[in-house]
Each structure stands twice: as structure tokens, then as C-alpha cells.
Amino acid sequence: MLLEVDGLCVNYGHIEAIRDITFGVELGQITTLIGANGAGKTTTLKTISGLRKVRQGKVVFDGKDITHLPSFERVKLGISQAPEGRGIFPGMTVRENLDMGAYVRNDRKTKAYAEDLERVFQLFPRLEERINQSAGTMSGGEQQMLAIGRALMARPRLILLDEPSMGLAPRLIQQIFSIIAEINQQGTTVLLVEQNAAQALRRADHAHVLETGEIVRSGTGAELAGDESVKAAYLGGDL
């Protein structure tokens, strides 16, 4: 198990955002968290990446307890995130944004760094075309590509993707999910938070349903896609 979340509880002031959630992410697989707005999905990812404090429970990465480890140290261990809303640096160029994704690396003049940059350009050719363009002037789809590419430049073992399809046209949604599958096939473990449950479950090895801060169902992606209650709540009755 690459990532283990055990009995995790997180608050926003006196409001309990997630309570006593437990799940794992297997090495080399895609795990997805689905649920409605406010279910606690983004809070879960922020806690795993070190941006939210844990009230109770623990987070273990590759056998190491990282519950209270600073976020930049988690990046060094191999956890990287493409956040909700993309979070790109609008005043910087595409190249500068990608370089920021690699801020914990000290090998920017090496062959390995050049190979990682080339990997991003192979996944997202549009980024290479826009390499000197200010990120804030790009389309929403291009900015999403940049957010994922920036996360990949940290050379993560686990990439956290928070609502990668949000606000995108249907054609781009299909493209983004195909690229997520390709990233996984190339060896990067994926933890995906997504409201587009149909697309997420179609590609997930394991899936969990979050409701009001609690995990209420778990199974393989196929199992949850076939669950009548999940269909009714998140898939419009059909996948």
C-alpha cells in the first residue's frame, strides 16, 4: 500500500469537514473519491498534501507517518498535487510554471530533468506550443493541462488530482481522462477527486463515495459503477 489514510478527522474551526475516514491507495493504481459538493473530497486531498491540519488519525506514505510533515517535505517524498481550480501562476509563462513544479529538485540542468519536461510535452503538446505564453492568457483546458504538467515535474510517485474536468467542454473532459489513464500506465499512482463520477469510475481500480465527510461506500470502480444507489445519486441512473 503506497498511501494509507487511517481514522482521519479534519475541522474548519468548529465544523467537522471529514470524520474518521479510512482508505488506502495501492501502488500503481488509480483510486478515486466521488461525492457531491461539500462532501469532503478536496479537504481530504489537502490534508494528504499537508495543507490542512489533522485533528485525529494519521496519514502514512510508503510506510512513513507523514501526518505532521510539512507539505514541501511531502513533495520531496513523492506526493504532488494539481489543485482544484488549477492554481497556475497567471503572470508566469508556461515554462516558468513547469519549472515551479520542480522547485524541490536540484537537477534542472540534467538529462533527467529534460526527459521529464519532454514527457510533459508528449502528454500535452499544446504546452510546448505555448511555452513562452503567459499562463493567465490560456484557455481553461490549457490551464488544466498546465496544472497537471506542473505536478508531474516534481516527478511524483503519487499524484493528487482535484476535479481535473471542472469547467471543461465535453471534448476536453474525455481528453483529460485519457491522459490521466496514460500517466498511470507510465507508472504514476493516481488519487483522483472528481464530480464526473462516470468518467472517474470507468478508469478507477478502487473507488470510495464520500457523503458529508464520511466514506459510505467502497469497492472497485466497476462495482460502484454497477451499484444502483451510486447510479441514482451520481450517474443519472446509468453509466
In tens, the pLDDT along 93-152 reads: 999 999 999 999 888 788 999 999 999 999 999 999 999 999 999 999 999 999 999 999
In tens, the pLDDT along 169-189 reads: 888 999 999 999 999 999 999
Confidence of residue 238 (pLDDT cuts 50, 70, 90): very low
What pLDDT does 234 receive?
86
The secondary element (H helix, E strand) that includes residue 80 is strand 79-82
Mean pLDDT of the chain: 94
Domains of the chain: 1-78+157-239 (3.40.50.300), 89-155 (no CATH)
Residue in the block written with cell 481535473: 164
What pLDDT does 171 receive?
87
- What average pLDDT does this structure show over 4-30? 96
Q: Give the integer Cα–Cα distance in Å for 239 and 204.
A: 14
Query: By mean pLDDT, which of 22-26, 116-120, 210-214, 229-233 is the weakest?
Result: 229-233
Q: Is the pLDDT of residue 21 over 50?
A: yes
In tens, the pLDDT along 27-51 reads: 999 999 999 989 999 999 999 999 9
CA atoms within 13 A on the CB side of 11: 6
Q: Give the integer Cα–Cα distance in Å for 3 and 196.
A: 23
CA atoms within 13 A on the CB side of 232: 3
